[in-house]
Structure formats: structure tokens, C-alpha cells
Amino acid sequence: MIVALILLGIAIVAATIYVQVKKRKILKLIGPLEHFPQWPIIGGVQNFMGKDVAGITATIDHLLTSVKLPAYTWVGPLKLIMVLDDPEDVEILLSDPAALYKPYVYKFFKNDRGLITSEPHIWKTHRKILSPSFSINVMKHLLPMFNTKINRMINNMKQLDDGVDVNLLDHLYMCTLDMISASATDVDIDLHDGKNCEYVQAVIAGADLVATRIINVPYHIEWIYRLSKLYEVEKRSLKAVNEFLDRVIKLKRTMFDEVADAEEERREELAKLNNEEIETKPKIIINQLFRYWTRGKIEFQDVRDELDVMIYTGSDTSTHLTSYTLLMLAIHPEIQQKVVEELQSVFVDETVPFDYDSVKQLTYLEMVIKETLRLYPVIPYIAREVKNDVKLRSFTVPSGTIIAVPIRHMNRNPVAFGPNPDLFNPDNFLPERVAKRHPYQYMPFSCGPRNCIGMTYALYSVKAIVAMMMMNFRISTRLKFKDIKVVYNITLRITNENLVNLKPREDFFKNQ
Ligand code: HEM
């Protein structure tokens, strides 16, 4: 017994010395930076203990404004987390190959092979395969389909009783999910009228599930998590999503013509070699994945995980950005009027097609969307785990550190966005103002090699929905700008009920 106690004592002393020596080495690299409030052993975790998502959001906002950034904290005895908001340092960091890795919490998405979470060696191949699916050529191909889906949503809205408040999210989720499912798979899946209802519910549940797991630290331990009810919900959701995707993959596989695809690829290669411009088929996500799957370059699981990522990220983010933009227009009627005037200057009569070229001309609407993303960035922060030391301008980020970039906090910097950065002002995105800012100051789609692959898709799809909504409805709300509350639930959520009032805009073309 005494021997055991002595051995235990020696082990504790040795572990303490090891931790202290290691910590000293790490602190030497980062130099005299400030740290967030922290306790011995558990470090900064204590700031968040026992809090719900609203409490965690308030704590994050408080910490980011009360401590000078960059700053750090320990999580447990040896894991260092740093928060970095200087755009020049963020640029160096995100451009470094050591920062292509995501922290362990991304594993909670249970999607190891998809772009968002995968290890760099998988990610590099997949990014190359999927990048052509987000080209302008593909966007041009998709816009008529967007138009059909948006019209269907608008017609459903027109059936609602006059004067009732509408929860935009209900309608937008169905529409964006319909759009991205068709964009990714080239199949008109038709999610309306209760069809594929289990799949829709599973996609919507997915995001909240992961967010709940992240804020419940004991659930980070897999065996504890597996005892929870959440795990049961996760299993059911994953089953519904996988069954749905397997059905689509099976259907599309029978339609994929490998010989014709190889011929198309040869034609493209030849044209590239000869520096010739030729018309090529739009590179739809599922076809790109099939091209490499049928040649044995990627596995079935890669196809399924990538489709899952695209459909989840493509619907959740766009739904919230569209609804927040419409809410801003409802709250600011004078800005709504400017958007309508711009639309009337482009769509001078009913013969002007609603296509890529006309949507591209809506530059003021784009400023409105960007300003909405500044105040309400759907992804409020991103994180990386560096696998080597990374030298920044005045200190070094030690290998193994988790770095968080607080996008929302950077978007409210008064030096970059003027003395009233909390107000809604689309003029922040006038070209001359944008030119004065560091490109990494405003990065709602992240920056660097692992930035958002769907940025153009997101901007075009949101622009198309908002434009068509404005052409069809006058939109108002009782909600006041100052009363808006948000939480960080992985994605940023406005927690006020997103209720707006829609009145048909019958004079859109008549007044011109
Ligand atoms: C409002 C719209 C959107 C916003 C604000 C947004 C934002 C972001 C951000 C900040 C990241 C970096 C995440 C990280 O580093 O952890 C990201 C990555 C990603 N986004 Fe988006 N996104 C949006 C829409 C979309 C859409 C529509 C799609 C697909 C159609 C998409 C697909 C992806 C993918 C696949 C990645 C991972 C990229 C990679 O690691 O190579 N996103 N997005």
C-alpha cells in the first residue's frame, strides 16, 4: 500500500514537472500575449461550464471584447487555444499548409471523407474533383432551375391568408434544400408536399445535433455520448440521410455513361492543349464524383459523404442568409425601396429573362446581402489545428494549437467599418470602401485554400431568392433592429421568431 502511494506520488510529481516544462516551452513561443480567464488544470473551460447556448454566446462576446486579441487559454493541462483577429496574421495562418487541419470537434459531423472535415490528404483530391462544379458555367446552367423552385415557393406563399405573419424559415428551408439537392444530383427530387419528409427532417436535425454535442463537454467523450438520447437521434438521422442518398446514387449510377464521359474529358483536354474555347457540359457535382469513383480513384463512401456535405451546407447556410437578408429589408423600408428600384432598372419588362447575366447586374442587392453577412455571419467563427509551428508577424503559433478566427467580431471592428459598426449600412460594401480594407478583415466565407467552395453558389442562389421575393411582395415586420438577438449554434441563429408580413407587389412592372 505504502509503495503504491509512493509510486503514485512520484507519478504525480513527474506529470506536473512534465506539464510545466512543456507549458513553459509553449509560452516562450507565443511571448507576452494576454490570456482569457482560466483555472488550473481545466483552463478556460470554466468560462462556459453549466451555460446554455445563449449563455455561451454572451460569454464569447464578452471575452472577445474584454481581453486584448490575440489571446490564448488552456483547455485541460496542455491543449492551447488561441484567438486571432489581425487580418494580416490570419492571412499568414490560413495560407500555411500546417493549418489545413480541422480540430477534433469537426469529427462530430460523422462525415470523415467530406470537404468540411476531411484530413488534408483526402481533402486535396476531393477539392480538385469538386472545384469545377462551382464554375460560372455551372451557375449559368443552374439558374433556370433555381427560378422554377423559387416560383414554387412564392406560389405557395401567395396561397397564405392575407395579413398573416409568415415564418420565412419554414418556406426557405424547403426551397434551398430543393435547390441544392437538384444542383448536386441533377435529379429533381421534389421535396414538397411531404415527399421525402424523413430526409428533410434529418438534414434539419443534423446541425442542431452537432451544436448540442459541442456545448456539452462530457459528450465529447464518445462512450458517454453513446449513452445519451442525442446519440439515438443521430443514428436515426444518419440512417434517413444515408438511405435517401443511396437511393439517389443508385438511380444516377445507372444513368452515368462512362464511355461518353471519357470522350467528353478527352475533348476538353485536347481543347486545353490547343488553347481553344469549346462549349463543355456543366460539371454537376454527382457526375464529377462518378467520374473518379468509376475509375477507382475514390470510394463509394467519398461520393456519399460529399453529397451529404453539399446538401447540408448548401441548404442550412443559404436558408439563414436569405431569411436574415429579407428581415433586414423588412426592417429598413428605405433600403428595400432601393433594392426594388435596382430590380426595376434591370427587369424593365416581363420579357427580360431572369438569368445569370441579369442577376449579376444586381450590385446593390449584393451589397445588402454582404452587409447582412457582416452583421449576421452565418458561420460566426472558424477553427484550425496547426500541425507544425507557424510563424506569424510577432509570435509563433506552437504545433498542436487550436486557432479560432472570430469572424463576427472582426466584422464589427470600428477601424475597418466606421464609428457605427453595429448599424446596418450596405454602403460598407461600396467598391471604394472595400478597396481600403484588408481582404481578410471581412471573410464570411473564410479565406485561403480551405475557404468556402460554395461562395458563388451561395451568393447567386440567395440573390435570386431575395430578388424574386422583392418582385412579388412588399415585406414588413414588427421586429425592431435593436431587439434582434443571436446565438452561436455552430451557425449563427437569430433567435427572435423570424416573422414577416408579405403583401403582394402587383405593381412591380406597371409603375415603370
Ligand atoms: C451563406 C452561405 C455560406 C457561408 C456563410 C459559408 C461559409 C463557409 C465557411 C466560413 C467555410 C469555412 C469553414 C471552416 O473553415 O471550418 C465554408 C466551407 C465550406 N462551404 Fe460554405 N458557406 C456558405 C454556403 C455554402 C454553400 C451553398 C455550399 C455548397 C453548395 C458550401 C459548401 C462548403 C464546403 C464544402 C466547405 C468546405 C470547403 C473546404 O474545406 O474545402 N457553403 N463555408
Q: Does residue 313 line the site of ligand 1, with CB under 6 A?
A: yes
Residues with Cβ within 8 Å of residue 377, at least 6 apart in sequence: 407, 408, 411, 444, 492
Share of the chain above pLDDT 70, in %: 98
Find the mean pLDDT for residues 151-180.
89
Q: Is the CB of 321 under 6 A from ligand 1?
A: yes
Residue 481, number of CB atoms within 10 A of its CB: 14
CA of 39 relative to ligand 1 center, distance in Å: 35
The model's confidence at residue 234, banded by pLDDT at 50, 70 and 90, is very high
- Among 186, 313, 373, which residue has the most ligand 1 atoms within 8 Å of its CB, making it the best to mutate? 313
pLDDT at 50 over 90: no
pTM above 0.85, yes or no: yes
Q: Which residues contact 79 (CB under 8 A, 6 or more apart)?
A: 43, 400, 402
Task: Produce one character per residue of 442-460: b if its CB has 16 or more CB atoms within 10 Å, e if not.
Answer: bbbbbbbebebbbeebbbb
For residue 127 and ligand 1, the question of a CB distance below 6 A is answered with yes
Tell how far CA 60 is from the center of its chain.
19
Q: Give 6 or 121, the one with higher predicted confidence.
A: 121
For ligand 1, is residue 398 a contact (CB within 6 Å)?
Answer: no
- d(CA 37, CA 59) in angstroms, rounded, equals 11
How many angstroms does the Cα of residue 285 sit away from the middle of ligand 1? 15
Which element (helix H / strand E) includes 474? strand 473-476
Q: How confident is the model at residue 193 (pLDDT cuts 50, 70, 90)?
A: low
Q: How far is the CA of 253 from the centre of ligand 1 (A)?
A: 27
Neighbour count for residue 49 (Cβ, 10 Å): 11
Nearest Cα to 252, choosing from 305, 312, 311, 181? 181
* Predicted pLDDT at 7: 79
pLDDT in tens, 429-445: 999 999 999 999 999 99
Q: From the alpha carbon of 373, which atom of ligand 1 is closest?
A: 5
